[in-house]
Structure formats: C-alpha cells, structure tokens
Amino acid sequence: MSLASLDQLCQKIGYEFKDTSLLTMAVTHRSFSADNNERIEFLGDSLLNMIIAEALYRRFPGIDEGDLSRIRSVLVSGKTLATIALEFDLGRYLRLGAGEKNSGGQRRASTLADVVEALIGAIYLESGFDVCRERVLAWFAPRLSALNPESSHKDAKTRLQELLQARKQPLPNYQLIETAGADHQQTFVVACSVSLLTSSVSASGSSRRKAEQAAAEQVLLALKEVE
C-alpha cells in the first residue's frame, strides 16, 4: 500500500499511525499473507465490546444488564461494523489475495467488519486504551446519540415478533436452508417467512442465531417498503 493511500485512510478514520506496519497489518486479509489481521482483529473485538459496554452503562443508568447487552449486540454487530467500514470506504484499502479479490472480498460485509475491529486493535497497540476509546466513541457517536432506550435494545427477531402480534398475524417461520464452510468458519443461511410478504427473505451469518437475526432485520425492512 502506498504512503498516499495510508494517509488517505488515516484521514478517514481520524487517526494517524506512526507505525504504518500496524495499519498495513490491520487491512491485510489472511488470503493475502500469513502476516494478517486475524490476531489484531481478535484484540479489537474485545476492546470494542468493552468500550461500547462502558458507554452504554454510563449513558443508560436505568437499564438492566439484559437490555444493555441487547443494545450492545446491535451496536457491535457485523452489520453495523460493515456500515462503518463503508463510510470509511475501507474496501479500497484492503490487501486481499487474488482469489478473494476476484470473488468480491472487498465488498463482503464480514471482511469489512473484521477490518474495523482490526483497526481498533491496531490503534490500541500503538496509543493505548484512552486514545482507542476516544476513536471508537467518535466512530459510534451518531449511533449512540440516536439510541432510543425504549426500543433500541430489542433485537430484530423480537421487534418482528411484536410487529406481527400487533397486526394479529402468525409468528415468523425460520428455516435453515444452507450451511457452508469448514467447521471452524461456517456460514449459515436462514430463510424467514411471514404472512405479510409473498416470498421468504434469506440472510446469512456466522451462526444460525446471527443468520436468523439478519433475516428478521431484512423482513422488517421489506415490510416497511410495502407499507
């Protein structure tokens, strides 16, 4: 990656790396090199959960731990992280192997989400927890400000179920339609059917639960479009 590209990426994320090797590692997919972002992503994932948990704990003193956990799961979900990655245009900076690049890896939500976590880990390694927390909270500021504690803690499956019950419709039906990949890195595809839509909606995730949540979210979006 050129110095110009590194500078562009630093400007977009609001943090300038002194050690550019950390930034390079953060955007390196395992298909490109054995020296990739998987370990640093693991670190970033833990930091992200901690930082968002603390922010929610302080922002919503009246909400119990179960609801805080559900709000956090939405904020740190792969979908949210992939959206942040798109805001930073991270796909153009990824270092991917030829096969991964040709198959559209630079647009794959899970890959983009991993890079956001890797960047968090890289910032922490270079500048410590306080600077890392400041950057993460800056990235998530609009989402934290927009939270509605009365509803945002409910996951997609719960919101879909409540919507259907309010309209006196049958509950949604979830069906596992495909499982692919090696045992340690499987992808699950789930179809969700509801009486208000003429066809089922499918979504994927790294677990059956995540795939069901993703499918429910897509059904909610589809229902908004037909209203």
**Looking at residue 214, which CATH number applies to its domain?**
3.30.160.20
Would 129 be classed as within a structural domain? yes
Q: How far apart are CA 105 and CA 110, in angstroms?
A: 9
Q: Is residue 212 a contact partner of residue 157, using CB atoms and an 8 Å limit?
A: yes
pLDDT band at residue 181 under the 50/70/90 scheme: confident
Same domain? 82 vs 190: no
Domain housing 186 = 156-226
From 45, 100, 155, 212, the catalytic residue:
45
pLDDT band at residue 196 under the 50/70/90 scheme: very high
Q: What percent of the chain has pLDDT over 70?
A: 95
| Mean pLDDT across 202-221 | 91
pTM above 0.85, yes or no: no
| Mean pLDDT across 129-144 | 96
67 carries an active-site annotation: no
Pairing of strands 201-205, 187-193: antiparallel
Number of domains, the chain: 2
Higher pLDDT, 226 or 176: 176
Would 195 be classed as within a structural domain? yes
| Mean pLDDT across 45-72 | 90
Q: Go through 160-177 and write b for each residue having 16 or more CB atoms within 10 A of its CB, e for each that does not.
A: beebbeeeeeeebebeee
Would 150 be classed as within a structural domain? no
pLDDT band at residue 21 under the 50/70/90 scheme: very high
CATH classification of the domain holding 90: 1.10.1520.10
Same domain? 30 vs 135: yes
45 carries an active-site annotation: yes
From 100, 117, 155, 212, the catalytic residue:
117
